[in-house]
Amino acid sequence: MKRALGFMAVTLAMSMSCAFAQETITLGASVQETGALANTGRYYRDSYNFAVEKINERGGVKVSGKTYTLALKILDNQSDSNLSVRQYVQLLTQDKVNFLLGPFASDFALADSSVAEKYQVPMIQGGGASDQIFNRGYKFIFGTLPVASKYFESTIAMMGKITPAPRTVALLYADDAFDVSVANGTRELLQKAGIKLILDERYSSNTSDFSTLISQLKSGNPDAILVSGHETEALNFVRQAKSLNLAPKMYSFTVGVPTADFRKALGKDSNYAFGMTPWVISPTSKDAYFGNAADFAKAYVARFGYDPDYHSASAVADVEAFVKAIEAAGSLDPKMVRDAISRISFPSLYGTIAFNATGQISLPQTVIQVQNDQVKAIYSQNGMLSTPQYPMPSWDKR
């Protein structure tokens, strides 16, 4: 009798375990929690967790009349792209996650998306924008960042609205997948705008010494300098521009400017820098879980102790997109969910989420500038939002 009762207890426990497993949908991701990219990787780790928590608080995921709890499995790739690929294989083959969220950075997403394609499990990621990720004809990769080749589109449009309008431009870019895509697109945008490109220089990622390039810039004397690189590179460029007294009419960076870290690192030297963001904190952008973007930003600071930026908002949108697609598919079958992702369209605190045929969303960049130690929205697709501080004064007149 005891043996029978023991067997029944084990069987009941196994049944309960299986039932629990069936009632959980697990999203897996390899994220830069440590290493060189950890400062940005934290946005994805924290935002994925925040979104999962909030969705579960709101009742979880409804699939064909059944309610599922959303779960998350995050591995630390230590800012190593080779490790990241191995971890995505592990997530699918050993950890048996249902679907994939992405890492930060285009080089990582470019490699990791091949794992999603091989195993035919959809990945939604808001950390990689390089055109290369999406021009391979892959069916299981989706992205919530604007296309890299158009990152400077709004900036170049703004340049035609300011006085005196910049007529000559220098383009500097790092040699990774994202920045090469940005540079390729920027050349075409400048040509269409009739702006002369007088210096076009590629540098090695993680470069810390810009003195040679700055000497070339001083010699060429462009009206505007456009820099596509990583945040640390942007910081080093500004510091060395000051020390070498380089002050064009304007400079703009693809990354860094939206973040509080950029302003904290540079202090008042961050002023006048232009940048861009696909996400501006606004009460008009709303979702079903956090309320509006302003509510989300306030809750995010209270939860994590630092300000969110567009990386955070895009990461939340990635999780929400899976929920919308799974519920629309009425199934956890990866191919059915993949097809549902390609059809979804919904408002979020990040913007409207709707993927085109290549797997990206269409989201215009808003030009921003650091003015008086604060980020200010300057220009959007609807025109000028506020007055830019332009031309930039020389360093000795600030």
360 assigned to some structural domain? no
Q: Tell me what pLDDT residue 134 has.
A: 97
13 assigned to some structural domain? no
Quote the crossing angle between the two packed helices 293-304 and 310-329, to the nearest 10°: 110
Percent of the chain with pLDDT over 70: 94
Q: Tell me what pLDDT residue 365 has.
A: 95
For 25, residues 6+ apart whose C-beta sits below 8 A from its C-beta are 61, 63, 68, 69, 70, 71, 98, 99, 326, 332
pLDDT tens per residue across span 2-13: 444 443 334 334
Indicate which CATH number applies to the domain containing 89: 3.40.50.2300
Average pLDDT over residues 75-104: 98
Asked if 34 and 139 sit in the same domain, the reply is: yes
1 assigned to some structural domain? no
Q: Tell me what pLDDT residue 75 has.
A: 98
Mean pLDDT across the chain, nearest whole number?
Answer: 94
Q: How many domains does the chain have?
A: 2
Domain membership of residue 178 as a residue range: 150-277+365-397
Q: What is the pTM of this model?
A: 0.91
For 218, residues 6+ apart whose C-beta sits below 8 A from its C-beta are 244, 246
Asked if 84 and 212 sit in the same domain, the reply is: no
3-state secondary structure of 362: coil
Asked if 273 and 137 sit in the same domain, the reply is: no
210 assigned to some structural domain? yes
Asked if 253 and 303 sit in the same domain, the reply is: no
Residue 126: pLDDT over 60: yes
Asked if 134 and 173 sit in the same domain, the reply is: no
Q: Tell me what pLDDT residue 206 has.
A: 87
37 assigned to some structural domain? yes
CA 255 to chain centre: 10
359 assigned to some structural domain? no
Asked if 69 and 119 sit in the same domain, the reply is: yes
**8 Å CB contact between 244 and 392:** no
Pairing mode of beta strands 286-287, 291-292: antiparallel
Residue 252: pLDDT over 60: yes
Band (22; pLDDT cuts 50, 70, 90): very low
Asked if 107 and 154 sit in the same domain, the reply is: no
Asked if 104 and 119 sit in the same domain, the reply is: yes
Average pLDDT over residues 157-181: 97
Asked if 241 and 383 sit in the same domain, the reply is: yes
Asked if 249 and 323 sit in the same domain, the reply is: no
Pairing mode of beta strands 274-277, 366-371: antiparallel
Asked if 77 and 113 sit in the same domain, the reply is: yes
